[in-house]
């Protein structure tokens, strides 16, 4: 499965456009991480726990998007975009979307 | 009341010194790594540069969540009353953005790429609407890494 | 077409200005502005509430805590007798102090160990047993009553309330902006203002007024100093009486009494507190 965020796959020819596929996940942070983050809020600096959490969630969103693409018989996803929104306080939605295509 | 005030002042001083120290260190490391990775080119254009049409394309990304320190938060709070440039947050976001791009470049290097095109930056405030609990911002940088294909 | 990345110089997105400089300017500027606004508001509020007639202040106070504090405990017959004695003394002092037409004073006696006495909205005086039982004679009690009556004459309770409300509102509206944790602390502390503490100037004025009243009522001011002696004794213990938090005993206050006393040279015996009062206090302990 090839995933890019440009409109083409270099060196390949897109034969079929299969439409949009998307993957999302909503993750809440947990209290343990929050306590550390609260401390960090005094001193400043990177919140490693949150960085990892969001990275994991984003991978999961990408994964789900790829699953959708596979399910409809695509072998590549192009023009991928990410978007984040905080749905409620303490939880973030990570959303990935792109165009599923078949390349030769 | 006095205990509150001392607590506030202590946090302010701690936040100022540790925050400033961390910021200086971070900027130093950012500049160093930018030098180191300057061979990996980044572009916002979505079209492939000439000569790269036949390379391997892969999605790469890097993210960072960075927190404000207490001093910055109070300074920004004061600034919000008068309005104007919130300089303390400007440096925070600058740091986060450059860090995210660097991590994306590291990802690209690990995949053997020499160029990242169509770089997008995405900013999310984790604590939006959460009052004054934890002030932090996430930056995610992503793009398509191009690695030259071995000539078959 | 060439593709390359050039190094971007530092300090374009980030200003090099020292963050402390900005912080200090902002903090002091805003601090000064807040002080100015609060001072102006409290001055204006203090001036405006004088336009509220005393009758309205009185009707306001029926729902206030002054009424609730006295109704909370049902007074016994003996305690009612004490209250009416205090009321009678207060009424005589009101005449001596020449309060304006329509202004009267209602004394509420509270059977409690708290060493306190205060004037509040609507001409209500709250007198605690804890303080009265420490007073050696009627002259000191009259000094205490006249001092609090003077506050009523000044309209001090409603001025303090008006100021408290105005300042509280102003700070609450500022706290709408900025960092809420900080302003919440500020507003929380200012909330204490509503416990109606009067300014030093009002206290000094009330002292002078009270001493003049005593002069008119007894013909001399001797015995007034006993009130301060009693309060001073209390200030040395670990748990100082509540009244000291609003009425600190200062050297100036004692000096003022002394200067009044010098004028009345002849030694007049103090008036004793009525016997039933002393008896009731003994049984209460």
Q: Sign of dihedral through CA atoms C176, C179, C184, C189? A: negative
**C96-108 per-position pLDDT tens digit:** 888 888 888 888 8
Q: What are B30's two structure tokens?
A: 């950012």
Residue C177 has pLDDT above 60, yes or no: no
Q: Is the Cβ–Cβ distance between B143 and B116 less than 8 Å?
A: yes
Q: What are B22's two structure tokens?
A: 């961390």
Chains C and A contact (Cβ–Cβ under 8 Å for 3 or more pairs): no
* Whole-number average pLDDT of chain A: 84
Task: Report the C-alpha dihedral over residues C40, C42, C43, C44, rounded to 10 degrees.
Answer: 80
Chain C residues whose CB is inside 8 A of the B76 CB are 179
* Whole-number average pLDDT of chain C: 77
* Residues 6 or more apart whose Cβ sits within 8 Å of residue B31: C10
ipTM of the complex: 0.73
**C197-236 per-position pLDDT tens digit:** 677 778 888 888 888 898 888 888 888 888 888 887 766 6
**C40-60 per-position pLDDT tens digit:** 887 887 788 778 888 877 776
Residue C173 has pLDDT above 80, yes or no: no
pLDDT band at B103 (very low <50, low <70, confident <90, very high): very high
CB contact under 8 A, A47 and B66: yes
CB contact under 8 A, B78 and C23: yes
CB contact under 8 A, B144 and A5: yes
Task: Report the C-alpha dihedral over residues B96, B98, B104, B106, rounded to 10 degrees.
Answer: -110
Residues linked to residue B66 through DSSP beta bridges, in sequence order: A46, B137
Residue C4 sits at the chain B interface (C-beta within 8 Å)? yes
**C11-35 per-position pLDDT tens digit:** 777 777 788 888 899 889 888 988 8
DSSP class of residue B68 equals -
Beta strand pairing status for A45-46 and A91-103? unpaired
Q: Is the Cβ–Cβ distance between B109 and B30 less than 8 Å?
A: no
CB contact under 8 A, A44 and B69: yes
CB contact under 8 A, B81 and C174: yes
Question: Which of C9, C26, C192, C245 is most worth mutating to test chain B (most B CB atoms within 10 A of its CB)?
Answer: C26
* Complete edge-to-edge strand list for the sheet that includes strand B41-42: A45-46, B56-67, B136-147, B115-125, B41-42
Q: What are C9's two structure tokens?
A: 């110089």
- pLDDT score of B64: 92
Chain B residues whose CB is inside 8 A of the A6 CB are 46-48, 57, 117-118, 144
Beta strand pairing status for A76-86 and A2-3? parallel
**Closest residue in chain B to residue C3, using alpha carbons only:** B49
Question: Which of B87, B92, B99 is most worth mutating to test chain C (most C CB atoms within 10 A of its CB)?
Answer: B87
Residue C268 has pLDDT above 90, yes or no: no
Shortest distance between the Cα of A76 and any Cα of chain B, in A, equals: 11
Residues in chain A: 104
Question: Which of A6, A14, A44, A88 is most worth mutating to test chain B (most B CB atoms within 10 A of its CB)?
Answer: A44
Q: Is the Cβ–Cβ distance between B18 and A43 less than 8 Å?
A: yes
Residue with tokens 């905080």: A86
- pLDDT score of C192: 42
CB contact under 8 A, C179 and B71: no
**Closest residue in chain C to residue B75, using alpha carbons only:** C23
| Arithmetic mean of pLDDT, B25-53 | 88
CB contact under 8 A, B57 and A4: yes
Q: Which of A2, A84, A90 lies nearest to residue B57, judging by beta carbons?
A: A2
- pLDDT score of C64: 53
CB neighbours (10 Å) of residue A27? 17
Comparing C261 with C85, the larger pLDDT belongs to C85
- pLDDT score of B99: 94
CB contact under 8 A, A10 and B125: no
**Closest residue in chain B to residue C183, using alpha carbons only:** B77
Q: What are C280's two structure tokens?
A: 């009731």
pLDDT band at C194 (very low <50, low <70, confident <90, very high): very low
- pLDDT score of B126: 65
For B82-129, give the DSSP string: H-S--HHHHHHHHHHHHHHHHHHHHHHHHTT-SEEEEEEEEEEETTTT
For C193-257, give the DSSP string: GGGTPPPHHHHHHHHHHHHHHHHHHHSS-TTHHHHHHHHHHHHTSSS--THHHHS---HHHHHHH
pLDDT band at C181 (very low <50, low <70, confident <90, very high): low
Cα separation, C38 vs C152, in Å, equals 24
Q: Which of B1, B87, B94 lies nearest to residue C22, judging by beta carbons?
A: B87
Residue C285 has pLDDT above 70, yes or no: no
| Arithmetic mean of pLDDT, A49-54 | 84
CB contact under 8 A, A5 and B64: no
**Closest residue in chain B to residue A28, using alpha carbons only:** B126
- List the one residue out of C171, C176, C166, C163 whose CA is nearest residue C188: C171
Element (H, E) at B57: strand B56-67
- List the one residue out of A92, A20, A97, A5 whose CA is nearest residue A56: A92
Chain B residues whose CB is inside 8 A of the A62 CB are 59
- pLDDT score of C242: 62
Q: Which of C1, C14, C179 lies nearest to residue B74, judging by beta carbons?
A: C179
């Amino acid at each position: 499965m090839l995933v890019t965020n440009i409109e083409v796959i270099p060196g390949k020819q897109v034969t079929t456009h299969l439409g949009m596929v998307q993957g999302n996940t909503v993750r809440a942070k947990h209290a343990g991480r929050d306590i550390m983050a609260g401390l960090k809020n005094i001193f400043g600096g990177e919140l490693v726990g949150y960085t990892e959490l969001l990275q994991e969630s984003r991978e999961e969103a990408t994964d789900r998007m790829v699953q959708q693409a596979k399910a409809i018989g695509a072998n590549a996803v192009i023009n991928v975009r990410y978007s984040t929104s905080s749905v409620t306080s303490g939880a973030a939605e990570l959303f990935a979307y792109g165009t599923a295509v078949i390349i030769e | 009341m006095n205990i509150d005030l001392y607590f506030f002042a202590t946090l302010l001083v701690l936040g100022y010194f540790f925050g400033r120290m961390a910021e200086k260190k971070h900027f130093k490391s950012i500049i160093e790594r930018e030098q180191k990775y300057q061979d990996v080119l980044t572009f916002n254009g979505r079209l492939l540069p000439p000569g790269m049409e036949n390379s391997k394309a892969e999605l790469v990304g890097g993210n960072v969540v960075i927190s404000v320190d207490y001093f910055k938060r109070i300074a920004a709070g004061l600034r919000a009353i008068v309005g104007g440039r919130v300089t303390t947050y400007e440096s925070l976001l600058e740091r986060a953005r450059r860090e995210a791009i660097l991590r994306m470049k590291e990802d690209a290097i690990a995949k053997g790429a020499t160029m990242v095109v169509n770089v997008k930056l995405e900013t999310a405030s984790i604590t939006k609407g959460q009052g004054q609990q934890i002030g932090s911002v996430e930056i995610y940088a992503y793009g398509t890494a191009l690695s030259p294909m071995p000539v078959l | 077409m060439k593709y390359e990345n050039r190094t971007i110089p530092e300090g374009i997105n980030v200003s090099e200005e020292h963050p402390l400089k900005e912080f200090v300017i902002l903090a002091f500027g805003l601090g000064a502005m807040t002080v100015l606004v609060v001072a102006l508001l409290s001055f204006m509020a203090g001036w405006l509430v004088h336009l509220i007639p005393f009758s309205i202040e009185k009707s306001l106070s029926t729902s206030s805590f002054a009424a609730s504090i006295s109704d909370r405990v049902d007074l016994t017959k003996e305690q009612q007798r004490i209250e009416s004695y205090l009321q009678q003394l207060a009424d005589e002092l009101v005449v001596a102090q020449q309060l304006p037409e329509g202004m009267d004073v209602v004394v509420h006696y509270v059977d409690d160990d708290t060493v306190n006495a205060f004037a509040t909205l609507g001409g209500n005086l709250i007198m605690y047993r804890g303080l009265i039982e420490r007073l050696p004679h009627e002259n000191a009690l009259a000094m205490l009553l006249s001092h609090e009556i003077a506050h009523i004459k000044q309209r001090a309770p409603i001025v303090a309330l008006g100021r408290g409300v105005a300042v509280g509102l102003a700070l609450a509206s500022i706290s709408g902006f900025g960092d809420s944790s900080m302003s919440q602390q500020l507003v929380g502390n200012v909330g204490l203002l509503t416990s109606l503490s009067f300014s030093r100037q009002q206290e000094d004025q009330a002292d002078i007024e009270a001493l003049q009243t005593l002069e008119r009522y007894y013909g001399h001011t001797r015995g007034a100093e006993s009130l301060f002696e009693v309060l001073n004794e209390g200030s040395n213990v670990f748990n100082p009486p509540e009244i000291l938090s609003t009425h600190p005993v200062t050297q100036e206050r004692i000096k003022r009494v002394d200067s009044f006393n010098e004028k009345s040279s002849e030694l007049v015996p103090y008036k004793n507190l009525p016997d039933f009062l002393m008896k009731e206090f003994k049984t209460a302990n």
